[in-house]
Amino acid sequence: MTFNDAFSPRFRITPRIARFLMGIEASKTTIDELHFSVQLLASLRETSKLLTTHYSTQIEGNALGAEQVKQVIVSDSRFAGRKRDEREVLNYYRALGYVEQIVREDAAICERKIQTIAMLVNSGKSQPKPYRDGQNVIRNSKTNSIVYMPPRATDVPQLMASLVAWISENIASKLLPIPIVAGLAHYQFATIHPYFDGNGRTARLLVSWILQKTGYGLKGIYSLEEYYAKNLPAYYLAMNISENHNYYDGRADADITPFLEYFCGSMAIAFQNVEVRAKKEISCNAVEGGISQKILLPEQRQVLALFEKHSIVTAGDIARELRVSDRQARAYCKRWAESGFLVIADQSKRLRRYALSGNFGQGNRSIHLEIR
C-alpha cells in the first residue's frame, strides 16, 4: 500500500476557531504586559511545572495525586507500591527541564531533540530515542477492541521528518497562527505514534516547546494539561476523528478541523484562566515584603530583567546581558552568590548555573528557578 508521506493537513479555520484565536491573543497580550515580581513569577512557574507534570502523567494513568507529585519532586518522598508512578513523574519533570533548556538556547525544532524528549519521558536518559521498530496498537482498556492502528514502523521516519519540516516551515513563514501550528503538530505526532509508549506525553511537550519558542509560553505559568485531564473524555474524543481505526484507511487524510476546534478552545480557556489567576496573584502580592531594588547595584537590577525571561542562567548569559567579558561576569556571579543575591543552581564545574535567591538572600526562603 502506498501513501503520501508529506504532511499536508486538511482543515478549516471556522468562526469558532477564529473566536478562540482572538481570545488566545487577548489573554497573551494581557499577560505579557502584566508586571510580576521575580519572586512571584518564580513561584507561579514552579507551581505550573508541578501541575503540568501531575496532569500530563495522570492522563496516562499515573495514580499519584498533585500533592504526592510535589513531594516526590521537591522532597524526594517515596510512596509504597508507587515506584513506577514516581519514576514516571520524575522523568516527565526532567523532560520539562530539557524543554526549558532548548527554549533558552533558541534551538530549532528537530527530530533529534524530539527523540531526546521521548527518551527522557520514557527512561529519564538524556539521549535520542530511536523510533519504534514494530507495529503498535491502541486498544480500549475495557473491551480490548482496537481503537487505533498507527502507521507501519517502516513509514515512521518519513512521516516524522515530514512533520518536523512542516512545523519549521510554518513557524518561519508565520502564515498560520501559532496555536494552529501547535494543534496540528500535536494531532499528527499522536497520529504517527512513533513510539510504543510515551507518545501522548511527548506530543504535549512538543506543543509546549512550540508555544514557548514562538512567544506563547505565557511566562511559563500555564498548563494546557490541566484542562485536558479535567476533560479527558473530550480530549480522547477530539483525537478520534476518523471512523476507521486504521491509519491508512482514513486517519491519514482526515479533516482535522474538529480537533483544532477542541485544541484552540482548550487553549483559549486555559489562557483566560491564567490571566484571571495572574491578576489575582499580583493583587494579593502587591504589598508583599522583600528587599527594595533601590539597594541593588545597576548591574543587579539589569540582571533582574534577565531573570524575568529565564529561570536559570549561566555566567555567559549574564555576560551577554551586561555586555561584559565572561571573566567579569564570572566575578560578578561569585560576588553575588557570596552576598546572597544569587544561589548556585548546580555544582557543575564545567558550566555552573545560577538562580535568583528568594528575597535576594534575606531570610530562609530561596526560590529554585529551574523553570521557564
Assess whether 229 and 333 both reside in one domain: no
pLDDT of 132 reads 97
The answer to whether residue 235 sits within a structural domain is: yes
Q: Which residue among 281, 306, 326 closes a domain?
A: 281
Do residues 192 and 182 touch, judged by C-beta distance below 8 A? no
pLDDT of 364 reads 32
Do residues 282 and 274 touch, judged by C-beta distance below 8 A? no
- Which domain range does residue 145 map to? 35-281
The answer to whether residue 15 sits within a structural domain is: no
CATH of the domain at 143: 1.10.3290.10
Assess whether 180 and 203 both reside in one domain: yes
Assess whether 128 and 196 both reside in one domain: yes
Q: Which residue among 281, 312, 332 closes a domain?
A: 281
The answer to whether residue 28 sits within a structural domain is: no
The backbone torsions φ and ψ at residue 57, rounded to the nearest 5 degrees and listed phi first, read: -80, -30
pLDDT of 136 reads 92
Question: Considering only CA atoms, which of 22, 52, 28 is closest in space to residue 271?
Answer: 28
The answer to whether residue 23 sits within a structural domain is: no
Count of structural domains, the chain: 2
Query: Which residues of the chain fall short of a pLDDT of 70?
Result: 1-4, 242, 285-296, 347-350, 358-372
Assess whether 194 and 172 both reside in one domain: yes
Question: Considering only CA atoms, which of 349, 355, 353 is closest in space to residue 368?
Answer: 355
DSSP 155: G
Assess whether 70 and 212 both reside in one domain: yes
The answer to whether residue 238 sits within a structural domain is: yes
The answer to whether residue 26 sits within a structural domain is: no
Assess whether 250 and 302 both reside in one domain: no
Distance CA 358, CA 341 (A): 8
Assess whether 261 and 331 both reside in one domain: no
Q: Which residue among 251, 281, 311 closes a domain?
A: 281
The answer to whether residue 216 sits within a structural domain is: yes
Distance CA 370, CA 156 (A): 34
pLDDT of 307 reads 81
Long-range contacts from 350-357, C-beta under 8 angstroms, 24+ separation: 351/314, 352/314, 352/315, 353/312, 353/313, 353/314, 354/312, 354/313, 354/314, 354/315, 354/318, 355/311, 355/312, 355/313, 356/38, 356/42, 356/304, 356/307
pLDDT of 78 reads 93
The answer to whether residue 329 sits within a structural domain is: yes
CATH of the domain at 317: 1.10.10.10
Question: Considering only CA atoms, which of 220, 271, 211 is closest in space to residue 46?
Answer: 220
pLDDT of 89 reads 97
Distance CA 63, CA 294 (A): 48
pLDDT of 269 reads 94
pLDDT of 347 reads 66
Report pTM: 0.78
Question: Considering only CA atoms, which of 307, 319, 317 is closest in space to residue 355?
Answer: 307
Question: Considering only CA atoms, which of 259, 266, 196, 204 is closest in space to residue 231?
Answer: 266
pLDDT of 91 reads 97
Assess whether 343 and 263 both reside in one domain: no
C-alpha 256: how far from its chain's center? 23
